[in-house]
Structure 1
Amino acid sequence: MDKTLIFLLIFSLLLVTWQAPFAMLTLMGIVALSVVFVRITWGLLQGFNQPAPEAQRVPTD
């Protein structure tokens, strides 16, 4: 990302924060909740892909 785009991104975020702070908080909340949802879903899906550990057998002598 070049410097102009980074500057415009930061400037637009500052303007949104200054002009509409509650909208910015709402957007941050939506992003945070979606990140949590994706992480939980990804963890559950990865849990199904893991093979279950085999039961330990008691040695019989």
Structure 2
Amino acid sequence: MRTLTPELPVVIVSAYRHDMLRAFFGQHEQVRFLGKPYRVQELVPLLHVLGIDPAVPH
């Protein structure tokens, strides 16, 4: 996917530690990590940082 659309924002949601995920996925500006369990109040600001408005259908 990154090859086809390098600017595609990605949110990786996992119970694994973020440092382990960063080591695997690297440091991309458009990649963010969110730990499980999470609340909508944590997800929405993360989407805004990536330039995504969750209220607008995509």
Give the shorter-chain TM-score range.
under 0.3
Give the TM-score taking structure 2 as reference length. 0.24
* Structure of larger gyration radius: 1
Q: Which has the higher strand share?
A: 2
Give the TM-score taking structure 1 as reference length. 0.23
Q: Which has the higher helix share?
A: 1
